[in-house]
Amino acid sequence: MVMPEFNHALPRWQRLFPPRTFRLEPRRAPGKLAAGSRMFWPLTTCLLLAALVAVHLLWRRRLRRLRAETEAALARERAHDNGLRAQAVAQQAAVFNSMVEGVVLLDLAGAIQLANRRFHQLFGLPDEAAGRTLMTATRMHELAELVAGLNARQPAASRELRLPGLEERWLEVNAAAVFDAAQNRRGTVLVFHDLTRLKRLERNREEFVANVSHELRTPLSLIKGYTETLLDGAKDDPGIALKFLQTIDRNAERLKLLIEDLLTISELESGRIRLQLQSVPLRPLAAKLCEDFRPRAGARGTRLVNELPDLSARADPNRVQQVLSNLVDNAIKYGRAEGTVVLRGRRADSGLVEISVADDGPGIPEEARERVFERFYRLDKARSREQGGTGLGLSIVKHIVQSHGGRVWVESEPGRGSCFHFSLPAAPPAAPVLNHQTNPAP
């Protein structure tokens, strides 16, 4: 900085202070750069670059952390979605394999793409049948014909088929063509319903109707025939008329018993009968029953023996009497003449009482022991009709016992007799009666 010059008028002062030139510059603090310094801008630039690098590194670190957190969250979400998807697939597979119907999916070539467990069970196939053709797996050309007959005009069809084998098995097959959104056929789905039980019920119903018709027709024909004979003039002969009337009365009684048994078994099967449960002493009930049957047993020389101990069952007394009556009646009818019928019983460990009726008759073959409890099943049809049986007695026994929560079975040895057993819930023991003695007042 150049200061202006001052010229003094006084010479003295000029002599004393000759004129001089001064330059003033601002002093800088040590260690600081001025704007005009050569190092200012390079250092400033370096500082700015360092700051930018630091900010970049911080943001990069933060972005890396955010990226890791985002990837972890996405991984957790993917794992959760995969778990849900696997759970849904497992649930669908469980439902698919738990179906009571057999289901199979075929491609256009007829090869099995998907099949559930029930399909394998119905046809006795190994656990995995995928890739095999339906014809190879089932060996039933009817199924191949059913699938081949499907088209756009007839996309669905059904048929009843009988499975090959010794055991009779019936199936209802529903087949449907599978089309995509463009109505191009992609395969076929088949659903198999097991009709075996329904077929058996239908056959039993038909046999039942046929048996009832036959059982009703026989005594009705006799009644009608003898009645017409009496009306034609046989009534004028007292001996013949009495014989005919006795035959009519006997067949009318047979009709009455048959109708009563039919009504009983209908009520038992429909569940309309209400059991009057109470404690039933079995020994006195059997004793009275033996007394009632003694005249009929004496006519064949059969001896009735009551060996029932003092047992009590929780049951309906009228129904228990009906069960014992049917079993004793059968033992007298089909047992050996001048034989023995024995009633026994015991208390089982399972809270049941077991009662048995044994005879010493011809016995029952092993293949017929389960069927004797079926309606209208007769081991010896001619003898059964001769004895006046309805063919429903043992079936009624089975239904009554089962309605009490018990079971019935037969043990037999051909030539040595049969023993029919049935079980009933045991009656709870009676509470003891305590006699309280009171002391007389003084």
Q: DSSP readout, 371-435?
A: GGGSTT--SSHHHHHHHT--S-HHHHHHHHHHHTT--EEEEEETTTEEEEEEEEEBPPPPPPPP-
Among 194, 229, 258, the domain-final residue is 194
When the pLDDT of each residue in the chain is averaged and rounded to a whole number, the result is 82
- Please tell me the predicted confidence (pLDDT) of residue 274: 84
Please tell me the predicted confidence (pLDDT) of residue 335. 85
Q: In which domain, by residue range, is 222 found? A: 196-273
174 contacts: CB under 8 Å, gap ≥ 6: 156, 157, 158, 190, 191, 193
How far apart are alpha carbons 82 and 73 in whole angstroms? 14
Count of domains for the chain: 4
Specify the CATH number for the domain of residue 208.
Answer: 1.10.287.130
pLDDT in tens, 122-171: 888 876 777 788 888 888 888 888 888 888 788 899 899 888 776 788 99
Predicted pLDDT of residue 15: 63
Over residues 340-363, the mean pLDDT reads 90
- CB contact set of 66 (below 8 Å; sequence gap of 6+): none
pLDDT confidence of residue 142: 87
pLDDT at 365 over 50: yes
Predicted confidence (pLDDT) per residue in 415-425, tens digit: 888 999 999 99
- Which of 167, 194, 221 is the endpoint of a domain? 194
319/375 same-domain check: yes
Residue 265: pLDDT over 70: yes
Annotate 337-370 with b (16+ C-beta within 10 A) or e (fewer).
eebbbbbbbeeeeeebbbbbbbbbbbbbeeeebe
Sheet strand arrangement including 102-106: 112-115, 102-106, 185-194, 169-179, 156-163
Q: Element (H or E) spanning 239, and its range?
A: helix 238-270
pTM: 0.57
8 falls within a domain: no
Domain-embedded: residue 14:
no
Confidence of residue 316 (pLDDT cuts 50, 70, 90): very high
Which structure tokens are listed for 73?
A: 């969250």
C-alpha to C-alpha distance for 106 and 189, rounded to whole angstroms = 6
- What pLDDT was estimated at residue 439? 47
> Do 202 and 182 belong to one domain?
no
Tell me the CA distances in angstroms from 142 to 107, 139, 161, 406, one per residue in order. 18, 9, 8, 45
In this structure, the number of other CB atoms found within 10 A of the CB of residue 431 comes to 6
**pLDDT for the residue 256:** 85
Indicate whether 192 pLDDT > 90. Answer: yes
Amino acid at 375: R
Same domain, 242 and 361: no
CATH number of the domain encompassing residue 164: 3.30.450.20
Residues 409 and 330 both lie in one domain: yes
Q: At what angle do helices 393-403 and 317-334 cross, to 10 degrees?
A: 150
Residues 188 and 212 in one domain: no
Task: Identify the CA nearest to 400 among candidates 250, 275, 255, 297.
Answer: 275
pLDDT > 70: percent of the chain:
86
Q: What is the pLDDT of residue 353?
A: 93
